[in-house]
Amino acid sequence: MAKKILEVTYEFLVKMSLFTSINDDIESYDENSTVNKTMERHISTLKDKDIESILKKIENNLDLNVENKSRREQGILRRYLFRDKRIGKCGICQKEFPINFLVTAHIKKRSECQLEEKIDFRNIVMPMCKFGCDDLFEKGYISVVDGIVVSMKHKNRTPSIDEIISNIEGKKCPYWNKTSKKYFEWHYKFHLSNNI
């Protein structure tokens, strides 16, 4: 890809946010504006190498604070996970939802990631639904061990939480593989020691 397009895409991401919030709220994003349409087209043709270099550039931009970096990253990572799809599948419960009900979740907490882990986008993120899976995973109520969703010990469990978890426990997570494994292992260990 020509360097120029990469730079233009990057500038676009830095100046404007593709999404209004870190939680993937796309409601106020004007998908019909000409600039956005052109950029969407550029972004959807980005190769893996280009995504990596944009993520690196965002991360190294000293003018952006943590929240802004994360928001820009989300714009690119969502494109990687969903491309131009309208419907996607949650990596935990395996149910299908319109993509604005899915978040681009980091398997290893973003704030704990080194630069090389942040740009390892093929392995560090996966889609999770807003109907519980994202929160349960982020708060350590569930994890993934050897590719299977497992229930975790947690001091704030209630019968309702137990019921929700019983419906997803044992599901196979298609995002678990030999290269993403280390991030799931980090998640499991981190919450295992935090939940005691």
Provide the binding-site residues for Zn ion, judged by CB under 5 A.
Answer: 90, 92-93, 129, 133
Q: Which residues neighbour 19 within 8 Å (Cβ) at sequence distance 6 or greater?
A: 25, 26, 29, 71, 74, 75, 78
CB of 95 to Zn ion, least distance (A): 6
At 99 the three-state DSSP class reads helix
CB of 102 to Zn ion, least distance (A): 8
Helix axes 66-82, 3-15, angle to 10 degrees: 120
Token pair belonging to 147:
């590719």
User: For residues 162 and 176, what is the distance between their CA atoms, to the nearest angstrom?
Assistant: 24
Which one, 77 or 165, has the nearer CB to Zn ion? 165
CB of 162 to Zn ion, least distance (A): 17
Which one, 77 or 93, has the nearer CB to Zn ion? 93
How many other C-beta atoms are found inside a 10 Å radius of the C-beta of residue 181? 16
Which one, 37 or 172, has the nearer CB to Zn ion? 172
CB of 99 to Zn ion, least distance (A): 13
Which one, 13 or 165, has the nearer CB to Zn ion? 165
CB of 127 to Zn ion, least distance (A): 9
**87-111 burial string, b = 16+ CB within 10 Å, else e?**
ebebbbbeeebebebbbbbbbbebe
Which one, 125 or 129, has the nearer CB to Zn ion? 129
Write down how long the chain is.
196
CB of 142 to Zn ion, least distance (A): 10
Which one, 113 or 133, has the nearer CB to Zn ion? 133
Helix, strand and coil percent figures for the chain, each rounded to 5: 50, 15, 35
